[in-house]
Amino acid sequence: MKLSETKVDEKVEIIEVEEGSEYQAKLAAMGFVQGCEVCPLHKNNNTMLVQLKGCRYGLGKEAAECILVKRL
């Protein structure tokens, strides 16, 4: 499933960031890589706030749709 499809406070693990997406390098630089745990903190139609490794990040819907995750 995509990160954008998760529920608030649902812990998930990153499976992959879609290769070739325009966000792949930027997300990797922020730490969004395979095996990391992510927890959505807030969502609306266009953005979401997530926690990753003790840091909070705001992601646009397009970036969140490039991150494939699984529930923990």
Query: What string of pLDDT tens digits covers the 72 residues of the chain?
Result: 999 999 999 999 999 999 988 999 999 999 999 999 999 999 998 999 999 999 999 999 999 999 999 999
Q: Residue 37 forms beta bridges with which residues?
A: 13
CB of 10 closer than 8 Å to CB of 40: yes
Kindly list the domain boundaries of the chain, sorted by start residue: 3-71
Listed in sequence order, the residues at least 6 apart from 69 whose beta carbon sits closer than 8 Å to its beta carbon are 1, 2, 3, 6, 12, 13, 14, 15, 38
- CA-based angle 38:44:32, to the nearest 5? 25
Query: What is the dotted CATH code of the domain comprising 3-71?
Result: 2.30.30.90
